[in-house]
């Protein structure tokens, strides 16, 4: 099972905090088995003797250690059973309550788990695991209610009734290596730690029809009578790194990483990868960086954050590696971090039981986007209430395999995953800019940066819809006789979830005078401010799309100042707009400028009236109207409304091609 190196760390960490003696020889003997990591023998003895124990403290201790055996063998059902008995017997160690909560969480019983975490928080207020557990239960329920887009399935064609885990692709996604405790493994005895067969490395391949072959042990000198697993095969398929763990008389001798090469279809001459001088330090779960220069692995070496940590070492020769470096608190925690995987897209995956999550081991992903590094829990359904670990991603994060003992597994099983494309649609509405009435029967043309071109028409409510693709930019052009063509832009870049976008496109009647919003100048000057150029760039788009029109740019002032000065200033301002449009590639013969001075006060539209309650539709903001206003603030608003830049269409038969979407 996946405890090929993890169980050693769990037992050592547990024993450091627990009393190991009891006033009972049978219990003492069972604890001796526990102390040596022989959980099955400890469990068998305590289960047999448990009904005969009359002393309540001893009964509580025996129940607790039965829970510990189950926990170390990843048996959440029996862990819950025995920890609950320990709590009911009022066993003195509060960890019984914490581990009961953990077991309930691993079974997906988040409501009851939250109660037990709260109980533990009352017992040990200074330990953050109680509060964190309550939070994790709440978060897990939310993740299940709103799952990510990943689709997962049990890879039943690879799995056996015994444990199968730690999948690894070979040369491509049609070859897979993995760890298995099935009957075909080389070992003939049971592992005293896990209670299962010793594990071996198996291989399966997929034929052209998509059918996987029956998994078989890899050929050569890799598999032994003890545990081998967690393979990592290089991209060329010729080199494999793997973990080997040996026992002697039921006691673990620790785990080592080996490297082997493929020769004539067999893995030959395994050679140990020496990483630490201290041979008592366990190492396992090897993984190379995509460039082959860095070896990532899990270890219980001193100097880490706690439990198992992820470490790394850089290549110095063919099988020579630098002194390992702990990957620090960004990845490692006080719990266990195991099964690293460095993906081709730069993401780094690992599993942890020390960072909170849905239960047991959760899979995490470290990635960099826009120069910022982030760590994310992969959430549901990649993660579950059970142990989820040993992920291997093919090329990108969109598909691969991982390991889990969740519901639907017979033991530890291999599961497949796939990230389907994002489903994005857009719902648009087309309205008359003057009165905001829906426009029926307008032609809507879609163009995208991937070359897609589609057409539709707006319905009676002025609505239209399109299905969009992810990571694209879109332009929508609307047209109908009597109106300027309308323009809308949208993007699907950066979207990570299924999304419905909304867009409103306003179309202006051709005979209207059209105001350009947010055109601003320095006081008493004709110089355009930078913020004005955003609005003018939209006008450039309008002119490029409506490439048969010529227009007259009109600038207006308020009535303050002399008539002549205002006329000259407005003419200069209108010309500055024309000059800017010419720099953007609009032909000069499509543009005229006209200064209107102060003689053309604005008539309040429905749109303006809805924005300013003191105005009503039809008001003319001339000098007499403004002077009657009581509020200086209202007067200034009216002056600003009069200081506007507009354009009017002069002709609609100018023959000139516009700039295509995506052009320059």
SS3 of 314, please? strand
Judge contact between 267 and 305, C-beta under 8 A.
no
Quick one: pLDDT at residue 628?
94
Say yes or no to pLDDT of 5 above 60: no
Supply the DSSP symbol for 89. Answer: T
CA trace torsion 308, 309, 310, 314 (10° rounding): -110
Contact between residue 11 and residue 250 where contact means Cβ atoms under 8 Å apart: no
The residues near 66 (Cβ < 8 Å, ≥ 6 apart) are 43, 46, 47, 50, 78, 82, 85
Residue where the block lists tokens 């002709």: 651
Give the model's confidence band at 607: pLDDT under 50 very low, under 70 low, under 90 confident, else very high: confident
Mean pLDDT along residues 542-546: 91
pLDDT at 195: 66
Residue 610, burial from CB neighbour count under 10 angstroms (0-12, 13-18, 19+): exposed
254: alpha, beta or left, given left = phi > 0 and alpha = psi -120 to 50? left
Question: Chain-centre distance of CA 254, in angstroms?
Answer: 35
User: CA angle 68-70-73, nearest 5°?
Assistant: 110
Answer for the pair 195, 40: CB distance below 8 angstroms, yes or no: yes
Q: Are 336 and 350 in contact (CB under 8 A)?
A: no
**Statement: residue 256 has pLDDT above 70:** yes
What domains are there in the chain, each with its CATH number?
Answer: 3-145 (1.25.40.10), 151-418 (2.120.10.30), 424-507 (2.60.40.10), 513-602+644-651 (3.30.1330.60)
Do 119 and 129 contact (CB within 8 A), yes or no?
A: no
Secondary structure letter of residue 590 according to DSSP: G
Phi, psi angles (nearest 5°) of residue 334: -75, -10
Answer yes or no: is pLDDT of 77 > 70. yes
- 386 token code pair: 């059970």
pLDDT for 465 equals 98
Please determine, for residue 617, whether its predicted confidence score (pLDDT) is greater than 80: yes
pLDDT of residue 513: 82
487 and 477 Cβ atoms separated by less than 8 Å: yes
Burial of 367 (0-12, 13-18, 19+ CB in 10 A): middle
Burial 614-638 (b: 16+ CB within 10 A, else e): ebeeebebbeeebeebeeeeebebb
Q: What is the pLDDT of residues 207-253, one digit of tens each?
A: 988 899 999 999 999 999 889 999 999 999 999 999 999 876 556 67
Residue 148's beta-bridge partner residues? none
Distance CA 209, CA 260 (A): 31
Lowest mean pLDDT among 128-132, 194-198, 420-424, 564-568: 194-198
Q: What is the pLDDT of residues 281-291, one digit of tens each?
A: 999 999 999 99
- On the question of pLDDT at 323 being above 90, the answer is yes
pLDDT at 521: 74
Sheet with 200-205, edge to edge strand ranges: 164-169, 175-180, 200-205, 216-217
- Tokens coding 67: 């829970």
Q: What is the pTM of this model?
A: 0.77
Q: Is the dihedral of CA 171, 186, 361, 250 positive or negative?
A: negative
Helix (H, G, I), strand (E, B) or coil at 522: coil
Structure tokens belonging to residue 156: 């039943």
CB-CB contact of 577 with 528 (8 Å): yes
* Number of residues written out for the chain: 664
pLDDT of residue 640: 87
CB 328 within 8 A of CB 284: no
Between residues 234 and 643, the one the model is more confident about: 234
pLDDT band at 658 (very low <50, low <70, confident <90, very high): very low
- How many angstroms separate the CA atoms of 458 and 430, rounded? 7
């Amino acid at each position: 099972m996946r405890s090929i190196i993890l169980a050693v760390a769990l037992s050592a960490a547990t024993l450091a905090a627990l009393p190991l003696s009891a006033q009972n020889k049978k219990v003492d003997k069972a604890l001796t088995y526990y102390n040596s990591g022989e959980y099955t023998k400890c469990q068998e003895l305590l289960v047999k003797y448990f009904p005969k124990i009359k002393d309540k403290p001893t009964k509580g201790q025996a129940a607790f250690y039965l829970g510990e055996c189950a926990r170390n063998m990843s048996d959440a059902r029996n862990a819950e059973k025995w920890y609950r008995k320990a709590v009911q017997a009022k066993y003195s160690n509060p960890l019984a309550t914490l581990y009961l909560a953990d077991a309930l969480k691993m079974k997906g019983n988040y409501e009851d788990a939250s109660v037990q975490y709260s109980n533990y928080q009352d017992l040990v207020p200074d330990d953050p695991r109680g509060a964190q557990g309550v939070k994790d239960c709440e978060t897990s329920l939310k993740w299940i209610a709103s799952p990510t887009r990943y689709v997962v399935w049990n890879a039943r064609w690879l799995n056996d009734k015994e444990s199968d885990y730690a999948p690894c692709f070979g040369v491509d996604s049609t070859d897979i290596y993995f760890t298995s405790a099935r009957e075909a493994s080389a070992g003939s005895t049971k592992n005293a730690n896990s209670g299962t067969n010793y594990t071996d490395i198996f291989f399966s391949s997929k034929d052209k029809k998509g059918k996987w072959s029956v998994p078989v042990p890899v050929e050569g000198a890799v598999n032994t009578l003890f545990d081998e697993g967690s393979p990592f095969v290089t991209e060329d398929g010729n080199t494999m790194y793997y973990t080997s763990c040996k026992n002697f008389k039921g006691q673990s001798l620790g785990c080592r990483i080996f490297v082997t090469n493929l020769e004539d279809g067999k893995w030959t001459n395994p050679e140990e990868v020496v990483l630490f001088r201290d041979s008592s330090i366990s190492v396992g779960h090897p993984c190379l960086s995509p460039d082959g220069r860095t070896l990532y692995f899990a270890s219980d070496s001193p100097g880490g954050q706690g439990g198992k940590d992820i470490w790394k070492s850089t290549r110095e020769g063919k099988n020579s590696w630098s002194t390992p470096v702990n990957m620090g608190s960004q990845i490692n925690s006080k719990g266990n971090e195991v099964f690293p995987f460095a993906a081709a897209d730069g993401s780094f995956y690992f599993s942890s039981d020390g960072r909170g999550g849905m239960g047991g081991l959760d899979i995490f992903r470290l990635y960099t986007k826009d120069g910022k590094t982030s760590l994310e829990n992969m959430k549901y359904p990649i993660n579950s209430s059970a142990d989820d670990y040993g992920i291997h991603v093919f090329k990108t994060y969109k598909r691969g395999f991982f390991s889990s003992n969740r519901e639907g597994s017979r033991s530890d099983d291999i599961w497949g995953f796939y990230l389907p494309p994002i489903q994005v649609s857009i719902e648009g509405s087309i309205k008359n800019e003057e009165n905001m009435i829906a426009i029926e029967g307008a032609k809507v043309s879609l163009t995208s940066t991937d070359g897609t071109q589609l057409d539709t028409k707006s319905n009676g409510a002025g609505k239209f819809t399109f299905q969009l693709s992810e990571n694209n930019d879109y332009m929508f052009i609307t047209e109908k006789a009597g109106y300027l063509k309308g323009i809308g832009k949208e993007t699907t870049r950066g979207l990570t979830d299924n999304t419905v976008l909304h867009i409103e496109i306003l179309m202006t009647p051709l005979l209207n005078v059209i105001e350009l919003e947010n055109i601003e100048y320095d006081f008493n000057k004709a110089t355009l401010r930078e913020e004005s150029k955003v609005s003018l760039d939209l006008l450039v788009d309008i002119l490029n799309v409506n490439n048969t029109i010529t227009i007259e740019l009109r600038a207006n002032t308020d009535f303050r100042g002399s008539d002549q000065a205002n006329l000259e200033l407005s003419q200069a301002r209108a010309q500055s707009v024309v000059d800017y449009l010419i720099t953007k590639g609009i032909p000069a013969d499509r543009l005229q400028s006209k200064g209107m001075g102060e003689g053309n006060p604005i008539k309040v539209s429905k749109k303006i009236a809805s924005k300013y309650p003191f105005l009503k539709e039809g008001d003319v903001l001339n000098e007499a109207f403004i002077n009657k206003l009581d509020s200086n603030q209202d007067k200034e608003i009216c002056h600003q409304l009069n200081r506007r830049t507009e354009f009017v269409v002069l002709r609609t038969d100018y023959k000139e091609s516009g700039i295509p979407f995506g052009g320059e």
